[in-house]
Structure 1
Amino acid sequence: MNSTISSTTRLARALAVGVAIAGLSVGTVGVGTAGAAQDDDDRVIRTGSCSAGADWKLKVKTDDGRLEVEGEIDSNVAGQRWRWTLRHNGSVSDRGVATTTPRSGSFEVERKVVDLAGTDTLAFRAVRDGQVCRGVVNY
């Protein structure tokens, strides 16, 4: 009888571990994968560091059949002028100059682009005095 209980306990533990691993695997697949997110939140966010201390963030989500792309640079220094470029599948979608704001020392650029068939590659790049920030999202 003890060997039956112990076998049953081992089986229950093995099943619990298997279910937990399967749950983690499903969650991992959804993170950062376009179209796989749950609860109608299809947003993909990438962050990183620039070459000299600033940080970048790039967000992409669908919006009325288009892609809403938001690039952000945060240097924590107000009044800096940055040249930025937004590329969609290698082609320049937009470019401009932005200045970091007094309160946050950051700026944001938001644009909507056509949601092309297949995977869209969106790249946001900003440059200031030799410092380069670049983020990419494959959506």
Structure 2
Amino acid sequence: MPIRPTRTALAALTVAALTVPVGLVSPAAASDGGGSDVRTSGRCSGTAHWKLKAKADDGRIEVEGEIDSNRAGQVWRWTLKHNGSLSASGTKKTSGLSGSFQVERRMANLAGTDHFIFRATHRHQVCRGTISF
């Protein structure tokens, strides 16, 4: 007498068959040059905090700096250095409930390890973060 699969067994096999291809495709689609990022954070000289993130982005490095002062409306001067050379600078105003701002730049991926310094100042408060990628 042949064994006939139940509807529950057939449904489980169907779900498994459909799930496997998605699982195989996802990492390739999500891989953007490694898919990993590096993060660091710390306190500023006053009450604010800084965060810094670097990740691969189409052969370049996306660097994101953030200052969180918990006070909206503050104007901060910021700089971003790449291997000791000034790459970008400007001013940003904190906004939102968190009183924060973000700076995001795509940098060249140089040979070897790339070193970044993100620095921001507001009045007498200084924030300085470093990250290597």
Q: Same fold (TM over 0.5)?
A: yes
Does residue 1:97 correspond to 2:91, yes or no?
Answer: yes
Counterpart residue number, 1:85: 79
The amino acid that maps onto 1:55 is: H
| Count of residues in correspondence between the two structures | 100
RMSD: 0.8
In structure 1, the partner of 2:108 is: 114
Distance in 2 between the 1:53 and 1:97 partners?
19
After TM superposition, what 4+ stretches of structure 1 lie above 2 angstroms from structure 2?
none
Counterparts of 2:57 and 2:43, CA distance in 1: 27
Deviation at 1:133, TM superposition (A): 0.2
The answer for unaligned runs of 5 or more in structure 1 is: 1-39
2:55 corresponding residue in structure 1: 61
Q: Tell me what 1:71 maps to.
A: 65
| TM-score, normalization by structure 2 | 0.73
Alpha-carbon separation, structure 2, partners of 1:78 and 1:65: 35
Q: What does the per-residue CA deviation read over 1:63-90, in whole Å, with 9 as the maximum and x for residues that have no partner?
A: 0000000000000000000000000000
Q: Give the fraction of aligned pairs with identical amino acids, expressed as a percent.
A: 58
For residues 57-114 of structure 1, the C-alpha deviation after alignment (integer angstroms, 9 at most, x for no partner) is 0000000000000000000000000000000000000000000003220000000000
Q: 5+ unaligned residues in a row in structure 2: which ranges?
A: 1-33
Which has the higher Rg, Structure 1 or Structure 2? 2
Cross-structure match for 2:120: 126
SS at match of 1:47: strand
TM-score normalised by the chain length of structure 1? 0.70
CA contact (8 A) 2:73 2:94 kept: yes
